[in-house]
């Protein structure tokens, strides 16, 4: 394809009646009608550029934009514009704006800009013409950023102290300082249909970009970024996200980009950039090199992808293989030798169901405590027993002293020594074992807990115990089954993203005659069809065939009902170590 032969180039070249030149520069057709001295209009017609079809007047008599905006200004029928969507034109939202505005006040603030304020902007390369175009003013103490709406009127303005960004207030109609109206220079969104646009953290960052001739909008704080209505940018082809150099800003930018998809491109700062560095500061530090540096950032930007790069993906795969050969991975075991031999340790999502009072919690507390003793980070979400009972029962098992006797004066010297030693063990393990009773837990909060304990213990892997699945809060879910299945899907995500192993207690459905003794199968798990798909291992703890109500001889059998990698069947028998709140494992036989 020859230069100038694409539809957008032909649209401009035919309208101006000129042939292709390296840079299309013509007399501006809008200057005279707007009371400006004759100026020149520049049109960017490089098909390889994000700004192909963008025009701007050097006099700034009109805001720049793309072909549809040009046609609107030049009274050209929109049907003649390449890319015009006749059917989509009716989708534009119309807002009923109030009768009163603050336009006159905004104009008076423009007239009050002092030489000192002008000098401050000029040090960043921002000219008086650009300030006039953006209607930026000064009230004697604060710089005034008018939030002009799509009807061309201003109803609210943000007033910011020039030396203290944290000192600001909103002036005007309070409703227009909130979503969806709190976008600075929002009119550029409509002017950039089918083209590229910058969105900036902070109004000041918009101005150097506007000085270069780029289309740009802004938000007052980065927290607003991820609250923006995504459909506002539906007709923008490329959105460059310009944020300050900080983890908080980067996170908000990624959240917005994840909603926008491939059209979003985050302008990245070099790794050694100071925290909170901004485009406003870059303009001051760079001087005449600012345009070059922005150009490099644009060129190096990448379309947002929800996928890890292939190179990074392979590196992660290799790292996972290496980790699995290490001691930390191999150490992810329950402490019950037969259990660990059959299942190769505690990995993935392990759901263990059982009849009431069969000892599910006791079994899980013992596994969690033993893992913590081996310095494996364990998060124990308890909705059944309470933190104090869990610690008392653990102390009883370690000291082999009944819970009722732990503080008894009648203990022998040997028993007192065992209790003292058990307390020392418990104190040490609590660094790796955190019991959580929060009944308002959410998947997001659980992720925070996992990230914290990983950081605190400097561990790659974490074990999460949930006692029990049916006691988890379901928030907006009105049906328990829907809520349980949603939690299981979240566990799958957490397992894969954060290298977490789960031990999850589940209730069982009663069999014929209200009993729990039928042959275990996936249907015995209560209230969830997703256990079949989510669990790496589904197990059932049943009373033994010769079960006796006498706790001193009670025996349970652990069955593997379904597994992704192992054959179903009986795993082992577990004899209650009465009265010390633990189990002893023996082979099935």
434-490 pLDDT per residue, tens: 999 998 899 999 999 999 999 999 999 999 999 999 899 876 555 667 888 889 999
In 264-415 the beta strands, taken as DSSP E runs, fall at 264-266, 349-354, 378-382
The share of the chain scoring above pLDDT 90, in percent, equals: 75
Total length of the chain? 589
Regarding whether 468 and 354 lie in a shared domain, the answer is yes
545-584 pLDDT per residue, tens: 655 556 667 789 999 999 999 999 999 999 999 999 999 9
Q: φ, ψ for residue 562 (rounded to 5)?
A: -155, 145
Query: How many angstroms separate the first and last alpha carbons of the chain?
Result: 80
Regarding whether 337 and 278 lie in a shared domain, the answer is no
Q: Domain of 265: which CATH number?
A: 3.40.1360.10
Regarding whether 180 and 284 lie in a shared domain, the answer is yes
47-100 pLDDT per residue, tens: 889 999 999 999 999 999 999 999 999 999 999 999 888 776 555 556 789 999
Torsion of CA 64, 67, 69, 70, to 10 degrees: 70
| 50 falls within a domain | yes
End residue of a domain, out of 524, 539, 563: 524
pLDDT at 308 over 90: no
Predicted local confidence at residue 299, as pLDDT: 94
Predicted local confidence at residue 547, as pLDDT: 53
Q: How many domains does the chain have?
A: 3
Regarding whether 513 and 451 lie in a shared domain, the answer is yes
Task: Tell me the C-alpha to C-alpha distance, in Å, between residue 292 and each of 63, 179, 295, 419, 515.
Answer: 23, 34, 5, 71, 77
Regarding whether 335 and 261 lie in a shared domain, the answer is no
Regarding whether 42 and 118 lie in a shared domain, the answer is no
Task: Tell me the C-alpha to C-alpha distance, in Å, between residue 77 and each of 74, 135, 489.
Answer: 9, 30, 52
| 356 falls within a domain | yes
Mean pLDDT rounded to a whole number for the chain: 91
| 190 falls within a domain | yes
DSSP output for 542-574: EE-TT--S-TTS-EEEEEEEEESSS--EEEEEE
Predicted local confidence at residue 226, as pLDDT: 85
Q: Which residue has the higher pLDDT, 466 or 507?
A: 466
Number of H helices, E strands in the chain: 19, 20
The share of the chain scoring above pLDDT 70, in percent, equals: 93
| 578 falls within a domain | no
Distant-in-sequence, close-in-space partners of 216: CB < 8 Å, separation ≥ 6 = 185, 188, 197, 198, 199, 200, 206, 209, 210, 242
pLDDT at 262 over 60: yes
Predicted local confidence at residue 531, as pLDDT: 87
Predicted local confidence at residue 587, as pLDDT: 95
| 97 falls within a domain | no
Q: What are the residues facing 541 on neighbouring strands?
A: 354, 558
pLDDT at 2 over 70: no
Regarding whether 142 and 281 lie in a shared domain, the answer is yes
Regarding whether 18 and 120 lie in a shared domain, the answer is no
Q: At 2, is the secondary structure helix, strand, or coil?
A: coil
In whole angstroms, what is the distance from residue 325 CA to residue 106 CA? Answer: 67
- What is the pLDDT averaged over residues 489-513? 89
In whole angstroms, what is the distance from residue 84 CA to residue 90 CA? Answer: 12
CA atoms within 13 A on the CB side of 259: 16
Torsion of CA 106, 108, 111, 116, to 10 degrees: -70
Handedness of CA 301, 306, 309, 310 (dihedral sign): negative
136-186 pLDDT per residue, tens: 999 999 999 999 999 999 999 999 999 998 999 999 999 999 988 999 999
Regarding whether 362 and 253 lie in a shared domain, the answer is no
pLDDT at 1 over 50: no
pLDDT at 495 over 90: yes
Complete edge-to-edge strand list for the sheet that includes strand 168-172: 137-138, 143-148, 154-160, 168-172
In whole angstroms, what is the distance from residue 245 CA to residue 231 CA? Answer: 27
In whole angstroms, what is the distance from residue 347 CA to residue 332 CA? Answer: 7
End residue of a domain, out of 489, 524, 559: 524
Q: Which residue has the higher pLDDT, 505 or 524?
A: 505
- What is the pLDDT averaged over residues 359-383? 96
Q: Domain of 366: which CATH number?
A: 3.40.50.300
End residue of a domain, out of 524, 543, 576: 524
Distant-in-sequence, close-in-space partners of 219: CB < 8 Å, separation ≥ 6 = 182, 183, 184, 199, 200, 201, 202, 225, 228
| 236 falls within a domain | yes
Could you give the angle at the alpha carbon of 337 between the alpha carbons of 335 and 341, nearest 5°? 120
Q: At 474, is the secondary structure helix, strand, or coil?
A: coil
64 dihedral zone (left: phi>0; alpha: psi -120 to 50; beta): beta
393-423 pLDDT per residue, tens: 999 999 999 999 998 889 999 999 999 999 9
Cis ω on the peptide bond leading into residue 408 (within 30° of 0)? no
Q: At 499, is the secondary structure helix, strand, or coil?
A: coil
| 255 falls within a domain | yes
Q: Which residue has the higher pLDDT, 46 or 20?
A: 46
Full residue range of the structural domain in which residue 263 is found: 105-300
């Amino acid at each position: 394809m020859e230069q100038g032969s694409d539809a957008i180039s032909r649209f401009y070249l035919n309208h101006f009646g000129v042939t292709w030149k390296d840079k299309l520069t013509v007399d501006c057709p809008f200057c005279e009608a707007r009371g400006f001295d004759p100026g020149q209009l520049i049109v960017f017609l490089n098909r390889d550029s994000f700004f192909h079809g963008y025009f701007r007047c050097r006099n700034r008599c009109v805001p720049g934009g793309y072909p549809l905006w040009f046609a609107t200004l030049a009274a050209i029928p929109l049907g003649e514009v390449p890319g015009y969507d006749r059917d989509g034109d009716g989708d534009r939202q119309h807002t009923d704006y109030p009768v009163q505005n603050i336009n006159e006040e905004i104009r008076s603030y423009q007239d009050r800009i002092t030489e000192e304020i002008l000098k401050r902007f000029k040090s960043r390369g921002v000219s008086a013409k650009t300030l006039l175009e953006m209607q930026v003013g000064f009230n004697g103490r604060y710089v005034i950023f008018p939030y002009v709406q799509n009807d061309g009127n201003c109803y609210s303005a943000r007033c910011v102290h020039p030396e203290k960004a944290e000192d600001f207030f909103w002036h005007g109609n309070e409703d227009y300082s909130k979503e969806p109206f709190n976008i600075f220079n929002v009119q550029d969104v409509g002017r950039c249909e089918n083209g590229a646009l910058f969105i900036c953290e902070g109004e000041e960052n918009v101005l150097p970009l506007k000085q270069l001739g780029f289309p740009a909008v802004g938000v007052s704080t980065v927290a607003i970024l991820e609250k923006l209505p995504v459909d506002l940018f539906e007709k923008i082809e490329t959105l460059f996200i310009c944020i300050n150099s900080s983890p908080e800003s980067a996170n908000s930018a990624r959240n917005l980009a994840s909603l926008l998809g491939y059209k979003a491109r985050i302008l990245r700062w070099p790794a050694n950039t100071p925290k909170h560095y901004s485009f406003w500061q870059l303009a001051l530090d760079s001087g005449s090199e600012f345009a070059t540096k922005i150009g490099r950032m644009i060129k190096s930007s990448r379309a947002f992808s929800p996928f890890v790069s292939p190179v990074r993906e392979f590196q992660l795969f290799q790292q996972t293989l290496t980790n699995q050969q290490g001691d930390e991975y191999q150490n992810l075991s329950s402490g019950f030798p037969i259990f660990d031999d059959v299942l190769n340790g505690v990995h993935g999502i392990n759901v263990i169901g059982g009849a009431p009072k069969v000892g599910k919690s006791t079994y899980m507390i013992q596994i969690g405590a033993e893992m913590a003793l081996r310095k494996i980070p364990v998060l124990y979400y308890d909705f059944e027993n309470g933190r104090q009972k869990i610690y008392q029962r653990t102390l009883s098992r370690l000291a082999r002293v009944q819970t009722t006797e732990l503080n008894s004066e009648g203990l022998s010297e040997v028993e007192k020594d065992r209790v003292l030693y058990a307390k020392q063990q418990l104190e040490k393990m609590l660094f790796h074992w955190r019991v959580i009773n929060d009944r308002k837990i959410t998947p997001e909060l659980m992720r925070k807990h996992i990230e914290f304990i990983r950081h605190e213990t400097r561990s790659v892997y974490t074990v999460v115990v949930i006692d029990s699945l049916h006691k988890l809060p379901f928030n907006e879910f009105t049906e328990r089954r829907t809520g349980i299945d949603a939690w299981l899907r979240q566990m799958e995500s957490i397992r894969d993203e954060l290298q977490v192993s789960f031990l999850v207690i589940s209730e069982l459905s009663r069999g014929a005659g209200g009993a729990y003794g039928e042959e275990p199968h996936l249907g015995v798990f209560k209230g969830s069809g997703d256990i079949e798909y989510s669990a790496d291992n589904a197990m059932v703890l049943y009373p033994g065939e010769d079960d006796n109500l006498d706790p001193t001889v009670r025996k349970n059998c652990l069955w593997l009902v379904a597994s992704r990698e192992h054959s179903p069947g009986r795993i082992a028998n577990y004899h209650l170590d009465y009265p010390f709140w633990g189990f002893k494992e023996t082979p099935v036989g």
